[in-house]
Chain A
Amino acid sequence: MTPLQQISRPAQPFALRRVADRMLSRLKTTGIISVLVLVVFAFFAVANSRFTNSNNLINILNQSSYLMIVSLGQGLVLISGGFDLAVAALLGLTSVVSATLMIALAANGVDLPLAIAISVACGLSVGLILGMVNGVAVAYLNVPSFIVTLGIAGIAAGAGYQISGGAPVTGLPEDFIAVFGTPDLRSISTSVYIAVLFAVALHLTMTRTRAGRYIYAVGGNPVAARLSGINVRRHIVLVFITSGMLASLAGILLSARVSTGDTNLGGNFVLQSITAGVLGGISLRGGEGTLFGAALGALFIAVLSNGMNLENISSYYQMIILGGLLVLAVLAEQLRLLISGRR
């Protein structure tokens, strides 16, 4: 929106406007989310002595890594101006597909490393294919991403239940768990290294490459992007494929951690990943924010829920708090736009 279009909004006292402006404009950058992480961390460190226990800190890292991977994909979609409501369902379907396949292959005498490789590849292709369907529908058929991904989420969940018969798939090979999860629950899991790797790589992609620039432009103003010679559709498809594959990757890693293939493994990840992105400074209107912010947002949510678990706050309350956080973060963004737009 433009300064001139905003002038009809109600007035605010000037001094308050300046102060609020300065505070809220930081929301845009990763400044505020970094502060939030530190504040929540400090709060629980003081409130509960078990919180800073090294086992618990490793636990937080392990827990946050899955959401972080999903949030990177979600953040990418948000920046391009869309939503991906299918991430949790894709994660669950991937988990079921790769677990079922792995057990079946191993039982039929296929070499174990080969069985694992095939199942992981098939798992990732779930995200690839369904992500591509999302992207093509959004880019070429002009269907709102909200609707497409909601439909694909339904399809993926149904397929997951059908394949698994509605029950968790157990009996995954130990080798798989050791490589993709952790040898024991007290050490840092593979998923943490992978999450950090992708956070750095994708952040660099978004800030340092043409593709990143173009995705920001596509999210900010698709018409201007097209007139600048950018292949808008291809970048939208690319973004949804990336988001789908990252969800699948998280599904494989999470299956290894819990030694189970489960359709419900994605749990609350749609809400959580969007919240992570918005808390991290990504605008729901597209074209603004960073993936580094989204990763920090995921870390924030992990710290918060870990702390709340230690304080024995029920998971129902935690959902309420998380939903409230998303609404607050969006409100704060609106407030920032309102105020800075009036300058």
Chain B
Amino acid sequence: MMAGGFQRSAPVPDPCPGALLEACDIEKSFPGVRVLDGVSLDVRAGEVHVLFGENGAGKSTLVNIILGNYAPEGGTVRFDGKVLPAGSPRAARDAGISVVFQELSLIPTLSACANIFLGREKRQSALLDEGAMSREAAAIFARLGIAIDPQAPVAGLSRAEQQMVEIAKALQNDPRLLILDEPTTAFTDVETQRLFAIVAELKRLGVGIIYITHRMAEIQAIGDRISILRDGRRIATKLVSETDEDELIQLMTGRETLNVYPTIAFKPADEAIALEGASAASGRFQNVSISVRAGEIVGIAGLVGCGKSAVGRSLFGEERLAAGQVKLFGKSLRSPSPQSMLDAGVVYLPPDRRRQGLVLNRSVRENATLSCLNLRSFAFGQWLRKKSEDDAVQRVLNRLNLSPPLLDRNVSAYSGGNQQKVVFARAFLRETKVLIVDEPTVGVDVGARLEFYGILKQLCEAGAAILLISSDLPEILHLTHRTYVLAFGRQTAEFQQEEISEAAILSSFFAVGRKEGDIKTGAAA
């Protein structure tokens, strides 16, 4: 965490003529919501311009307008001094604007190479020039410093590798402006450092970069200027070197926030949930033993693909075990299932909210209570009690600041961070004795993080056992009482609160020899 006082409002630098990209007075509404209210933004060649704001502040909308996916109601986007036609993705792409979104847009059955050149295939007369494309893809991967076979189907790659393919796709046509929308959410520090090296190289080549992130460390590491959006307005644009975390959070939320991580009292009681000598039937982890006591918050750290997610799933009965057992409140379970675990008071919040967490074409209300409908307060036998359901959901989502707070709206209409809030709501809506959360704060703004950490604190101090699986090291460092580290599907270390440090955890990420490289390790090699 950064310390230090505020920089009192330095004058906001105006969009300067001659910038690579100038968006002026952009206005955009969706039915019932004013999303952008006269926002201006300029990006110079060779700078990293960070876009910062809470979920729903308008960042994604602004990016989509620059990309031509949306047409604004007012304002213009100039690129290289020329006005870009509104609402034309083609014009934006031809001008040299590329994007990497947080959500993947790859076709899983096609090879990495085919994905990179999708829609821009190289041809030799009528036939595809596979050789040239493969060579070029390999060259881009080499530049990115990753070992991915260009012919490998994307479905077989780890999430981090897929993200790298996504970045390679954006780099393939030599962009002049690159937009990175939370590109590191699937990455651990190693992969993130690699991305930063690429960004530095692109800067030298005069590429302008718009970088969207919620991670303070990344802003400090690569940002040149930062613009803060709040409620569809640009609140400020500052030099990153002249600002600090406290000020940014204050500007973003409009309130002073000193520490996002609460101190959670440590009063451990009996063991609540445990995995004993367990190996996954899928082979994702071997011989893992962990236990979580009531009133304790335990972390699992590890690189992407190390098996930590599978450990979380197996504790919820969603991953079959080839050996070992799950124990709940001292009793070993013969065949745990999500259903029986929920009934026993175990709540699991999965890492991939779109694929595992939400029913996207249903309403916020239905998604929030989906795992709670067997409770008396929500249903009388089969019959739903809609009134009390409404009240409960409204109360929880107000607390989590869902914006806009419309319970009947489909969750697909919300941004990623807001969707995660709907997932969080589930931990609130039923009695939670054990909470297993996997990557809970990916793409979630500081305000919602605060609320979520508050939930963890409240649950933990009320005697719940909490297992926090996370790639976000600060989260592990500040919140957990104890942390296990997994590497290549094996348990490599366990740290008590006082021993938990970034260096110690990082070193145990690689504690198992690299000879186990046949296990998926992301781009960590």
C-beta contact mask, A243-260 vs B, less than 8 Å → 1, else 0?
Answer: 000000000000000000
Contact among A11, A285, A288 with B88 in the assembled complex (CB-CB below 8 Å): A11
Contact A208 B384 (CB under 8 A): yes
Contact among B102, B354, B359, B382 with A225 in the assembled complex (CB-CB below 8 Å): B359
Docked complex: B348-392 residues within 8 A CB-CB of A: 348, 350, 354-362, 366, 370-371, 373-374, 379, 382-384, 386
Cα distance A13–B338 in the bound complex, in angstroms: 47
Contact among A8, A12, A14, A217 with B105 in the assembled complex (CB-CB below 8 Å): A8
Q: Given A7-B89, A225-B359, A343-B413, do A209 and B370 touch, yes or no (CB 8 Å)?
A: no
B68 at the interface (CB under 8 A from A): yes
Contact A209 B30 (CB under 8 A): no
B189 at the interface (CB under 8 A from A): no
Docked complex: A211-266 residues within 8 A CB-CB of B: 211, 213-214, 216-217, 220-221, 223-231
Cα distance A257–B142 in the bound complex, in angstroms: 74
Q: Determine which residue in A2, A214, A226, A228 has the highest number of CB atoms from chain B within 10 A of its CB, and name it.
A: A228
A287 at the interface (CB under 8 A from B): yes
Q: Which residue of B lies closest to A337 (CB)?
A: B361
What residues on A are CB-neighbors of B348 within 8 Å?
Answer: 227
Contact among B87, B373, B374 with A14 in the assembled complex (CB-CB below 8 Å): B87
C-beta contact mask, B88-102 vs A, less than 8 Å → 1, else 0?
Answer: 111000000000011
Q: Which residue of B lies closest to A283 (CB)?
A: B361
What residues on A are CB-neighbors of B355 within 8 Å?
Answer: 221, 223-224
Q: Given A5-B103, A224-B356, do A229 and B69 touch, yes or no (CB 8 Å)?
A: no
Contact A217 B366 (CB under 8 A): yes
Q: Given A4-B60, A211-B382, do A220 and B89 touch, yes or no (CB 8 Å)?
A: no
Q: Given A217-B366, A227-B338, A227-B356, do A11 and B90 touch, yes or no (CB 8 Å)?
A: yes
Q: Which 5 A-B pairs have the closest CB atoms?
A: A220-B359, A228-B371, A229-B342, A14-B71, A228-B370
Contact A5 B105 (CB under 8 A): yes
Q: List 5 A-B contacts (CB under 8 A).
A: A216-B359, A224-B359, A227-B316, A227-B357, A229-B374
Q: Which residue of A lies closest to B384 (CB)?
A: A208
B403 at the interface (CB under 8 A from A): no
Contact among B339, B343, B370, B373 with A224 in the assembled complex (CB-CB below 8 Å): B370
B294 at the interface (CB under 8 A from A): no
Contact B357 A224 (CB under 8 A): yes
Q: Given A224-B356, A227-B350, A227-B357, do A213 and B69 touch, yes or no (CB 8 Å)?
A: no
Q: Given A209-B383, A213-B384, A224-B359, do A229 and B371 touch, yes or no (CB 8 Å)?
A: yes
Distance in angstroms from B412 CB to nearest chain A CB is 6
Cα distance A283–B359 in the bound complex, in angstroms: 14
Cα distance A285–B362 in the bound complex, in angstroms: 13
Distance in angstroms from B127 CB to nearest chain A CB is 25
Contact A4 B359 (CB under 8 A): no
Distance in angstroms from B360 CB to nearest chain A CB is 7
Q: Given A208-B384, A221-B358, do A213 and B350 touch, yes or no (CB 8 Å)?
A: no
What residues on B are CB-neighbors of A223 within 8 Å?
Answer: 355-356
Contact among A208, A209, A230, A342 with B339 in the assembled complex (CB-CB below 8 Å): A230
Q: Given A7-B64, A208-B383, A210-B382, do A229 and B339 touch, yes or no (CB 8 Å)?
A: yes
Cα distance A343–B410 in the bound complex, in angstroms: 13
What residues on A are CB-neighbors of B86 within 8 Å?
Answer: 14
Taking beta carbons and an 8 Å cutoff, which residues of B are in contact with A?
30, 60, 64, 67-71, 86-90, 101-103, 105, 316, 318, 338-339, 341-343, 348, 350, 354-362, 366, 370-371, 373-374, 379, 382-384, 386, 412-413, 426
Distance in angstroms from B258 CB to nearest chain A CB is 33
Cα distance A228–B341 in the bound complex, in angstroms: 10
C-beta contact mask, A188-212 vs B, less than 8 Å → 1, else 0?
Answer: 0000000000000000000011110
What residues on A are CB-neighbors of B357 within 8 Å?
Answer: 224, 227
A3 at the interface (CB under 8 A from B): yes
What residues on A are CB-neighbors of B362 within 8 Å?
Answer: 216-217, 220, 287
What residues on B are CB-neighbors of A12 within 8 Å?
Answer: 87
Interface residues on A, range: 35 or more
Q: Which residue of A lies closest to B103 (CB)?
A: A4
Cα distance A35–B250 in the bound complex, in angstroms: 52
What residues on A are CB-neighbors of B370 within 8 Å?
Answer: 213, 217, 224-225, 228, 230
Contact A11 B87 (CB under 8 A): yes
C-beta contact mask, A1-41 vs B, less than 8 Å → 1, else 0?
Answer: 11111011011111000000000000000000000000000
Cα distance A209–B385 in the bound complex, in angstroms: 9
Q: Determine which residue in A3, A4, A208, A211 has the highest number of CB atoms from chain B within 10 A of its CB, and name it.
A: A4
Cα distance A231–B90 in the bound complex, in angstroms: 46
Contact among B103, B338, B373, B379 with A226 in the assembled complex (CB-CB below 8 Å): B338
Q: Given A213-B366, A221-B359, A227-B348, do A2 and B382 touch, yes or no (CB 8 Å)?
A: no
Contact A2 B412 (CB under 8 A): yes
Contact B379 A210 (CB under 8 A): yes
Cα distance A3–B69 in the bound complex, in angstroms: 10
Distance in angstroms from B447 CB to nearest chain A CB is 22
**Other A-B pairs, 17, CB within 8 Å; known A210-B382, A228-B342, A288-B361:** A4-B102, A7-B67, A7-B69, A11-B88, A210-B373, A213-B366, A217-B359, A224-B370, A225-B359, A225-B370, A226-B318, A226-B338, A229-B338, A230-B339, A230-B370, A285-B361, A287-B359
What residues on B are CB-neighbors of A342 within 8 Å?
Answer: 69-70
What residues on A are CB-neighbors of B318 within 8 Å?
Answer: 226-227
Cα distance A288–B412 in the bound complex, in angstroms: 13
What residues on A are CB-neighbors of B358 within 8 Å?
Answer: 221, 224
Contact B87 A13 (CB under 8 A): yes
Q: Which residue of A lies closest to B346 (CB)?
A: A229
C-beta contact mask, A153-178 vs B, less than 8 Å → 1, else 0?
Answer: 00000000000000000000000000
Cα distance A13–B88 in the bound complex, in angstroms: 9
What residues on B are CB-neighbors of A231 within 8 Å?
Answer: 339
Distance in angstroms from A229 CB to nearest chain B CB is 4
Cα distance A229–B347 in the bound complex, in angstroms: 10
Contact among A5, A11, A217, A288 with B68 in the assembled complex (CB-CB below 8 Å): A11
Q: Which residue of A lies closest to B385 (CB)?
A: A208
What residues on A are CB-neighbors of B371 within 8 Å?
Answer: 227-229
Q: Which residue of A lies closest to B419 (CB)?
A: A2
Distance in angstroms from A193 CB to nearest chain B CB is 24
Cα distance A1–B361 in the bound complex, in angstroms: 8
Q: Which residue of B lies closest to A216 (CB)?
A: B362
Q: Given A224-B370, A283-B361, do A2 and B103 touch, yes or no (CB 8 Å)?
A: yes
Cα distance A14–B30 in the bound complex, in angstroms: 12
Q: Which residue of A lies closest to B181 (CB)?
A: A4
Contact B360 A2 (CB under 8 A): yes
Contact among A208, A228, A287 with B338 in the assembled complex (CB-CB below 8 Å): A228
What residues on A are CB-neighbors of B69 within 8 Å?
Answer: 7, 11, 342
Cα distance A223–B64 in the bound complex, in angstroms: 30
What residues on A are CB-neighbors of B87 within 8 Å?
Answer: 11-14
Distance in angstroms from B275 CB to nearest chain A CB is 18
Distance in angstroms from B292 CB to nearest chain A CB is 19
Q: Determine which residue in A5, A209, A210, A229 has the highest number of CB atoms from chain B within 10 A of its CB, and name it.
A: A229
Q: Which residue of A lies closest to B88 (CB)?
A: A11
Q: Which residue of A lies closest to B90 (CB)?
A: A11
